[in-house]
Amino acid sequence: MSQSLFYLIAFLSIFFSLMVIFTKNPVHSVLYLIITFFTFTIHYILLNAQFLAIVNFIVYMGAIMVLFLFVLMLLNLNKDTEPAKSNLLKMAGVVAGMCLLVTLVGSVKALNVSNPVVLTNPGLGLVKNLGKVLFNEFLLPFEISSLLLLSAMVGAVLLAKKEA
């Protein structure tokens, strides 16, 4: 049952991510992206990673995508205001996209995904275990990443102040 659920959700993820790319309207695109993130949340729950699931839900769906939607609504993009891209730019986009595809396929192939992924420690995603692992084994990377976020925040504030 869990496996068929996985295939259903995986299909929905891919379907909605394709919809993100193929819809013309940027606001629709963002809405499809929100649904895509929601399917990711279900994937995390299937992996028994409850904390990651709910954080993905709050941060990506609840905060970042609201900001995306906010900016798009403010800009109110449509076909008339969007500048037409030159053919050279389009070609560059195609080449870059193909390069990314090749890299991704190569790395996935190197992973040997034909072996089914078995969770070595299925309880790891629960919030208690995750907290213990984060603050014992990975304390230094955790603190450094928080510093990184802080510096990004200070940088953003500085940029905003400069304009005013």
* Nearest CB to other proteins, comparing residues 66 and 95: 66
CB of 102 to other proteins, least distance (A): 37
Distance (Å, whole) CA 60 – CA 87: 34
Q: Which two tokens stand for residue 113?
A: 């995904």
Residue 119: phi and psi, rounded to 5, are -70, 125
The least distance separating other proteins from the CB of residue 59, rounded to whole angstroms, comes to 9
Question: Which of 10/69 has CB closer to other proteins?
Answer: 69
Least distance in angstroms from the C-beta of 116 to other proteins: 25
Q: Which residues bind other proteins (CB under 8 A)?
A: 27, 31, 34, 50-51, 54-55, 57-58, 61-63, 66-67, 69-70, 73-74, 76, 126-128
Contact 33, 68 (CB under 8 A): yes
Please, are residues 11 and 88 in contact by the beta-carbon 8 Å criterion? no
Shorter beta-carbon distance to other proteins: residue 63 or 139:
63
Of 48, 68, 46, 64, give the one whose Cα is nearest residue 56: 64
Q: Which is nearer to other proteins, 80 or 87 (CB)?
A: 80
Min CB(129)–other proteins separation in Å: 11
Given a contact cutoff of 8 angstroms between Cβ atoms, the answer to whether 13 and 43 are in contact is: yes
